[in-house]
Amino acid sequence: MRIAVIGAGTTGLTAAWLLSPDHDVTVHEAEAGPGGAVRTHVLDTDRGPVPLDLGAQHLSPTDFVAHRALRRLTGIGEDEERTVPLTLTVTAADNEPLLVTPDAAHDTERGRTPVTGTAWEQIGAFLAATAGQQPGTVAHDVAGKPIAAPLPSAFTVAEAADAAGVDKEVRDGILLPWLASYTGCRLADAAAMPARYAAAWALRTPPGRPEDAALWINLSGSLHTLTARLADSLGGRLHLSDPVSGISAGGPRGSAPLTVHTADGAAPVYDRVIVAAPARAAARMLTADPVLAERAVLLDRLPYEPVTVALHRDARYMPPERRHWSAVTVHAHDDRGEPTYWFAAAGGPDVFKSWITHRDEPADVLRLAHFRLPVLTADAMATRRKLHDLRLSPHLQLAGSYLYDIDSQESAVRSALSAAEEIDASAARPSRLRAALEAEAVS
């Protein structure tokens, strides 16, 4: 079959890679380079060039099963991965630390001083209560005490915090800025998120003990290692700087043939199309076709936040005393929580990656990047369910991390696999990736 994949982020590249050996696949990408949310800056240092992730970066060693299986299938082994203790500091508007999480294995040698106390206990109680939302589970707080009863799965962050006994000062000063920092949203939006999704990043990759740091994985060559490998495998079938203006269906009920209209006036015809662009971009492509436009209306309802990221050498967003520095520092200010990642915490250069959408730009900026991140409100989750249930075309698939789970690199791979299987579940690479996932589930 002739298949078009629109978008060359992780989802689009994965979908194209999965289907390309068995089908004639073409990828249309609006930008000059592939990667989407994966962007890399190569920094010249005394040790030679060091690739730094400017966008997506952290991979869960336990929860990102599909992503790990894809890495192995593309030849990326454990020797290209490094473990990163993701310690966390949350600071007030004046940068004074309100919370510094412990890392017992390294704090003494690195001169770190945790700041925990009641705030840490209450955050732990919130996470435990949220983890206990699933039936049949018994949740415990950071001291090992059982939480009385599992919370309803529909509880918001605000409701879960109240049920867990989190006081207003800890909720507004630490918990909400921390959860808001994942998407760049306002604290009120974070409070209204479904708790089990808002806290999923912490819940699914917990530390072994309360006094330990959660361990995540970074690729030593940055996430560009994977996206570049996928892109290179496509060769001339990856069309860069080739934006799509619309899609029209020639058959009944949105079926094939499907025409992809590009900005340069071309109109190639395909048997199948996977739209792996962000929701708003996908909506614009579908609006012109009367059958596909119903999906466009739903896609336009999904909320996004604009985020500006700076790679820089200025330590202005860190606590005044270095003993309170962590891998991630969330700065609570002006009804927001904006993070800074410190690359040296993982053995990298003394360089920072900060969200500065609502902060003054730091000095010594190496590079700026702009992103739009989905906000998983309750309304957004309901809209996403409608999109999954709505099958307007048997031959057009929507795919993207925004459609699955918590909008992560894992979500991107799982969405790509689902779209590829809808087109041809018997193709060689989807079958191999699915088999790898099933083997992981058994183990």
* pLDDT confidence tier of residue 440, bands split at 50, 70 and 90: confident
pTM reported for the whole predicted model: 0.93
How many angstroms separate the CA atoms of 86 and 106, rounded?
Answer: 12
Is the predicted pLDDT of residue 87 greater than 60, yes or no? yes
CA distances, 390 to each of 105, 413, 414 (Å): 49, 21, 19
pLDDT of residue 138: 45
* pLDDT confidence tier of residue 141, bands split at 50, 70 and 90: very low
Q: Of 186, 75, 167, which Cα lies nearest the Cα of 121? A: 167
pLDDT of residue 140: 46
Reported as a single tens digit per residue, the pLDDT across 256-314 is 999 999 999 999 999 999 999 999 999 999 998 988 998 899 999 999 999 999 999 99
Reported as a single tens digit per residue, the pLDDT across 384-417 is 999 988 877 889 999 999 998 888 999 999 999 9
Q: Identify the helix (H) or strand (E) that includes residue 126.
A: helix 117-131
Q: Which residue has the higher pLDDT, 439 or 225?
A: 225
SS (H, E, C) 10-60: HHHHHHHHHHCCCCEEEEECCCCCCECCCCEEEEEECCEEEEEECCCCCEC
Domains of the chain: 2-33+240-303+377-442 (3.50.50.60), 80-220+305-373 (no CATH)
Q: What average pLDDT does the structure give for the chain?
A: 93
pLDDT of residue 131: 85
User: Is residue 36 exposed (0-12), middle (13-18) or buried (19+ Cβ within 10 Å)?
Assistant: buried
CB atoms inside a 10 Å sphere around CB 320: 11
How many angstroms separate the CA atoms of 300 and 308, rounded?
Answer: 22
The mean-pLDDT minimum among 139-148, 173-182, 265-274 falls in 139-148
